Amino acid sequence: MFRLDGRVALIAGAASGIGCAAAEGLAAAGATVICVDLNAEGAEDVAGSIRARGGSAEALAMDITDAVAVERKVARIAETQGGIHVLVSTPAVNVRKRLLDYTGDEFDKVLRLNLRGTFNLTQPVARIMSAQKQGSIILTSSIRSVMVEPGQGVYAATKAGLVQMARALAAELGPVSVRVNCIAPGVVETPLTQPIRNHPDWYNAYSSKNALNRWASADEMAGPIVFLASDASSYVTGAVLFVDGGWTAVDGRFTPPL
């Protein structure tokens, strides 16, 4: 029930991090994966690695903030591949600043990619899936959709917004058998979190916050994504799957004497 043979999966942000892990995981499950990223060379490296292991993969440069170009490229992918059955959207940016120090341009930068960019990509893919009457859309939210800290306000707002976008899409697309869900990772070792890893105290504090007392590797996101893409989750839509090592379950870092 986890196999994806004969299905086409479009992965945005596939050149690195969770997007790369998603592409590799979906290909291993049998999907033909289309690796798209602003970093065309990085996307091709991932696709080439998948092909070298016997999988089916192609790469395409895509800037998801360019709505016109995205719609054109999505249409071409669907025409060439005979449809799109899975969408995984991972691109995000963060400007770590307290809200009172944010500039308008910085605010727009975060919303433009995290929310508008995801919308730009999801809308044309969802239209194709609606016509097919089949599909699974997976958006990348975060633990920051429900928990926040200083310097994460705007990023957190976008990740909460993605949850509501996914829920609305789930409600609207359910009648045509298109499912829409979010994964909400905790702390994952990706290029986006490199600044944290450069500070051992910061890195270790995050490790000790979750129940497993460690960070996740990006490839630990692949299993949940394959689950949501596959028939194993055929009755799951409008959901948020927290892949956070128990971060949102654990109350604080102190274990009281009992």
Per-residue pLDDT tens digits for 67-79? 999 999 999 999 9
What confidence score (pLDDT) does residue 255 get?
66
Tell me what pLDDT residue 51 has: 98
- Classify residue 138: in a domain, yes or no: yes
Distances (CA, A) of 25 to 132, 194, 230: 24, 23, 12
Under the banding of pLDDT at 50, 70 and 90, the label for residue 251 is confident
Locate 132 and state its tokens.
């097919």
- pLDDT, one tens digit per residue, over 133-142 is 999 999 999 9
What is the tally of structural domains in the chain? 1
What's the distance, Cα to Cα, between the start and end of the chain in Å? 44
Outline where DSSP puts E strands in 21-98: 32-37, 56-61, 86-89
The reply to whether 58 falls in a domain is: yes
Q: What was the pLDDT predicted at 253? A: 65
Has residue 214 been placed in a domain?
Answer: no
What DSSP line would sit under 149-204, residue for residue?
A: -TT-HHHHHHHHHHHHHHHHHHHHHGGGTEEEEEEEE-SEESGGGHHHHTSHHHHH
Catalytic machinery residues: 155
**pTM score of the predicted model:** 0.95
- Give the model's pLDDT for residue 107: 98
- Following DSSP, what letter does each residue of 98-166 receive, concatenated? -GGG--HHHHHHHHIIIIIIHHHHHHHHHHHHHHHT-EEEEEE--GGGT---TT-HHHHHHHHHHHHHH
- pLDDT for res 122: 98
Q: Is 251 part of a structural domain of the chain? A: no
Calculate the average pLDDT of the chain: 96
Q: Residue 81: which CATH number? A: 3.40.50.720
The alpha carbons of the chain give a radius of gyration, in whole angstroms, of 18
Q: 46-60, 91-105, 224-238, 243-257: which range is least confident on average?
A: 243-257
Judge whether 36 lies within some domain: yes
| In-domain check, residue 208 | no
> In this structure, are residues 140 and 162 in contact, taking their beta carbons and an 8 Å threshold?
yes
Average pLDDT for 44-54: 98
Say what the pLDDT of residue 227 is.
98
Residue 190 reports pLDDT greater than 90: no
Per-residue model confidence (pLDDT) at position 256 = 63
Q: Which domain holds residue 105?
A: 8-188+221-242
Of the pLDDT bands very low, low, confident and very high (cuts 50, 70, 90), residue 173 is very high
Bridge partners of residue 243, in order along the sequence: 185
User: Which pLDDT band, with edges at 50, 70 and 90, does 129 fall under?
Assistant: very high
Note whether residue 151 is domain-resident.
yes
Distance CA 97, CA 114 (A): 16
Residue 100 counted as domain residue: yes
